[in-house]
Structures are given as C-alpha cells and as structure tokens.
Structure 1
C-alpha cells in the first residue's frame, strides 16, 4: 500500500512532468484528486452544476499556477487551498453563505430515534425535516460569524482537517489556528444562544 510520503513524492514527479509538457501527467493528478475535490465542493453547495463548476475552476487555476508550486507543502495541501478559496469566492459572487447542508441519501432513507435511548422511531420524512431545520439553524448562526471564524469552523468541523493542514491551507501558524478556532466556537455558541435561546444549557 502506498504511503502518504510516497504519494506526495509521486505528486511532485507528476507536477514536474506536467511542467515539462506532458499533459497526461496533469490528467493523472486530476484523476487522483477529483473525488476529494467533489466531496469538498458538496459541502458548499447542493447544486451539482455548481459543484462541477467549482471543481473545474479549481483544476483550471491549478494548471495555470503550476509553476508557482513551491513544494514547501504537499501538492495535495496546495491544491486543497486553491479549492477552498475557489469555493468561497464562487459563493461570495453568488451572494450566498459559504456553508450549506449536504443531503445524505442513506440517512434520508433510514428511520432515526426521537431521543437517544428511546424506543420511539421517527419516520424518514420527519427525520429529513429535522435535519433540514438543524441545517437551516446552523447556516443562520454561521452567517452571523466573521469570515475568518466561519472558515475555520468549516475546515475543522465539516472537513475534519488537522490543525497543521488548516495552517498550511490558510497560510497561518498552528497557534493562530487554535486561537481562531477557540474564538470561532465561542462566537458560534454566543450567536446560537442569542438567536435560539432554546439551545442554551440549563443553569
């Protein structure tokens, strides 16, 4: 099984070959990372057309900027940074929040419990309505946050990235990531309680 180090080394070799005029090498990079980018883009929009646009724009920007890849970070991190910025810029141009809910067909089809440990099943339509309401509230609260806080929450809580990956993608130190994420979570909690006091923990 190929290791992350070997994969990163192969990526650099493919970049060098692409810069040397081999179009198949860049195509291999596209095939290697397109699924990951599609998954990322789906966190920002439900529209299949917009997801396609974001991914295509990301690869186009990557190809045009290939000579600027400095190898200080892995190619995948560099590509991910371009993808995140492309998705955010795309939705800013649309005048929409950079966080939208993503439907999970398997969850939509399965019944869920009304409460943990209860024996009362909730129908799939009720579960879907509940998820939509939670997604709406989450978007509403995230919209209250400044962009820098909103972005770190998306990368950490939605994308599950490590602090190191976030630091490289955002071009900041790990300490700044930790501080910004701490403040973002606090601001999110404050906004949630202000907008939806029913979610406040009892005294």
Structure 2
C-alpha cells in the first residue's frame, strides 16, 4: 500500500533542512518494500542487506536532486534496481548479455503468468517462482518483478526504468512469455494445469 507522496515529500524537505530523524522515517517506511524487491535479484541475505543499505546511502547523498513533484517511492525504487543490477555486474553477470532487443523481437506467446496448483505450499510456490525468475535475463526480470510482485503501475515502472510506457508493455509481454516458457521447461507438470486469463 502506497503512502501519500506528499507525506514523503515533507520528510524529504525536513531532511534537506538538516532533520536526520526525518530520513530515518523514510528508511523505515520504504525498507520492507526494498528488501522485497532486492530478494528477486539475489538469495544472499548479506548481499540483499548491502544493496538496500547502499540504496539508502545513494538516496541520502543525492536527495537534493529529487524532484518533489514526483514520487519518492518511485525514485528510490529506481535507485534500488540500478544498485541491484550493478551488484550483478560486479559478480560477472551482465543484465543485458545475449538479450535481443525486446522491441525488435517477434513476440512469442504471452498472456498472464500461469496459475500455480492451489495445493502447493506457499514456500514451494515461492521457491519455484524464484527459480524461474533466475532463468530470465535481468532486462525482463526487472519489469516482471516491478509489475507482478511490487504491483507498480505501467507509469511507475516507466519512471523507475526511465523508458516509455510502450516499452514497458513490450518488455512485460516478452517477460511473461519468457517466464511461461521457463516454467514449463523446468516444471513440465504445470503444462497440465489450465491457465487463468485475467482481463
């Protein structure tokens, strides 16, 4: 659930005026969602902690560049995504290695994410989802995570990734198709269950 952005903006203004407690409140407000976001990039608790901490340090050091008319949540999510991708690069995994341009590639398949078997335990569903997400190039994983797990709007995703809404739609379409393909390849039993189409 999103807090009113003017609430955050007031805390940003207070922080810039020298109120350190105001920034601590921003950290408390947004930590949980950032930890949730970064968990989709690494399983290491230490790396998750490092990325989130680095995100807040970057946000604090760049706070004067934040435009108060925009959402602080979107702004800090953008920093977190970039920080997580930088971490992957440092580990030797390029977020765009061998990825075709999603706007030029012919779309394959599509539709919403297949619905998992209702009898599966929540923990197993989480493990399966994380395993499938690891198969996706980061360019697709990020847009899927922001939409399906962080429940951000197309506009918010466009702002976080600094791309057009049309590009968000294209990447999301491709990401869902990639997710479906990887899911059926790794867990063929899902092919036996009917898909749910959410309009």
- Secondary structure of the residue aligned to 1:76 is helix
Q: Secondary structure at the match of 1:82?
A: helix
For 1:111, the equivalent position in structure 2 comes to: none
Contact 2:133 2:141 in 1 (8 A): no
Q: 1:183 to 1:27 in 2, by over 3 A?
A: same
More moved, 48-57 vs 37-46:
37-46
Contact 1:141 1:192 in 2 (8 A): no
Deviation at 1:189, TM superposition (A): 4.3
1:94 matches 2:91: yes
| Alpha-carbon distance in structure 1 between the residues aligned to 2:26 and 2:188 | 48
* Among candidates 176, 180, 192, match of residue 171 of structure 2: 180
Structure 1 position 75, deviation (Å): 0.8
Would the alpha carbon gap of residues 178 and 139 (structure 1) be closer, same or farther in structure 2, given more than 3 Å must change? closer
* Distance change (3 Å), C-alpha of 1:185 and 1:42: closer
Alpha-carbon distance, 1:160 to partner? 2.7
1:10-29 aligned at under 5 Å gives the runs 10-29=7-26
> What's the CA shift string for 1:145-178, capped at 9, x where partnerless?
4x43232122223333221221111112222211
* TM-fit CA distance, 1:42: 2.3
Give TM-score scaled by structure 2 length: 0.68
Cα distance in 1 for partners of 2:183, 2:125 equals 17
How far, CA to CA, are the matches of 2:94 and 2:124 in structure 1? 21
CA distance in 1, matches of 2:176, 2:76: 27
Alpha-carbon distance, 1:141 to partner = 3.2
Q: Which residue of 1 aligns with 2:58?
A: 61
Runs of 4+ in 1 over 6 A off after TM superposition: 127-131
C-alpha distance in structure 2 between counterparts of 1:116 and 1:199, whole Å: 13
Tell me how many residue pairs correspond in the alignment.
170
CA offset digits 1:91-144 (Å, max 9, x no partner): 22123588xxxxxxxxxxxxxxxx668xxxx8x8xx977875x357514631xx
Structure 1, unpaired ranges of 5+:
99-114
Quick one: distance in 2 between partners of 1:31 and 1:39? 14
Q: Secondary structure at the match of 1:160?
A: coil
- Between the aligned partners of 2:178 and 2:31, the Cα distance in structure 1 is 34
**Higher RCO structure (Cα 8 Å, ≥6 apart):** 2
Match of 1:41 among 1, 25, 38: 38
- In the alignment, is the contact (CA less than 8 A) between 1:73 and 1:168 conserved in 2? no
